[in-house]
Amino acid sequence: MQTIATLGDLCEWLGLAPEDYKRLSKAIYKGTDCGAWVRVREEGGDWQSPEDLSGPEVDLEMVQIGSIVEGSDAEFDMEYGCPVDASVLDEWLEELESLTSQEWDRANNEHFLLRDPEGHNVAVVNHGDKTKVHWFCDVTPAIGRVEGMVKGLLRREEHLEHLGNGATTEKDDVPFDVGKSKWVLRRYEPEVEL
């Protein structure tokens, strides 16, 4: 079990040699999908970038790791007092990746619920640069046809306008037929799970 108490320990946690502490910020940024950042604080000091400290032997009072989310106003970060177990930082990085991914999707894509002919929500549709359908269950052997219809509807702007902002009522639904079955699209706003 690795404990992080010095700048050198923080380097080793990220797979760097302690003397490479000036590369710490770049390593955490490049090593995460969310482009995480790190700041540290010496005993009685101010928050600063790791590369601004005098060397790997510096004792740390606090470590802060976070990330901003492109296309939104969201920023997530967490502070830890030192010494801190490296597994705690590993868990936070994993959660940070998940939170930023959810928030990026929420802020940069349009979202719709797909309802089957019986009125059950059977899929979430994320409409952005590419339209992706995430099925909750195997609803029909005609899934490919349903996805094709959904993607076609979303390419036509009049259907997006009809769905309006935050539509939540039946009158705002966009019905469509697949064979003899009636399906429905409804806009919704996903929430980020904190």
CA separation (Å) from 190 to 102, 107, 124?
A: 9, 10, 10
In terms of phi and psi (left: phi > 0; alpha: psi -120 to 50; beta: otherwise), the region of 180 is alpha
pLDDT at res. 6 = 97
pLDDT at 158 over 60: no
C-alpha to C-alpha distance for 62 and 108, rounded to whole angstroms: 33
- At 173 the pLDDT is 74
Q: What does the pLDDT average to over 64-80? A: 94
Enter the DSSP assignment of 176: E
pLDDT surpasses 60 at 35: yes
Share of the chain above pLDDT 70, in %: 85
| Secondary-structure percent of the chain, ordered helix, strand, coil, rounded to 5 | 35, 30, 35
Count of C-beta atoms within a 10 Å radius of residue 187: 21
d(CA 114, CA 144): 14
Residue 167 has pLDDT above 70, yes or no: no
Structure tokens at 80: 């830890």
Please report which confidence band the pLDDT of residue 166 belongs to, taking 50, 70 and 90 as the band edges: very low
Phi (first) and psi of residue 56, to 5 degrees: -65, -20
| pLDDT at position 160 | 53
* Whether residue 26 has pLDDT greater than 80: yes
Cα pseudo-dihedral 76, 19, 51, 9, rounded to 10 = 30
One-letter amino acid for residue 77 of the chain: D
DSSP helix/strand/coil, 128: coil
Q: What is residue 58's DSSP assignment?
A: P
> What pLDDT is attached to residue 192?
61
**DSSP-derived pairing of the beta strands 60-68 and 75-81:** antiparallel
Instruction: Determine contact, residues 5/59, Cβ cutoff 8 Å.
Output: yes
75 or 189, which is more confident: 75
What integer pLDDT is reported at residue 45 of this predicted model? Answer: 93
Name the least confident of 54-58, 75-79, 153-157. Answer: 153-157
pLDDT for 126 beyond 80: no
Mean pLDDT of the region 143-153: 73
Q: What is the mean pLDDT of residues 152-158?
A: 64
Look at residue 162 and tell me whether its pLDDT is greater than 70.
no
Q: How confident is the model at residue 11 (pLDDT cuts 50, 70, 90)?
A: very high
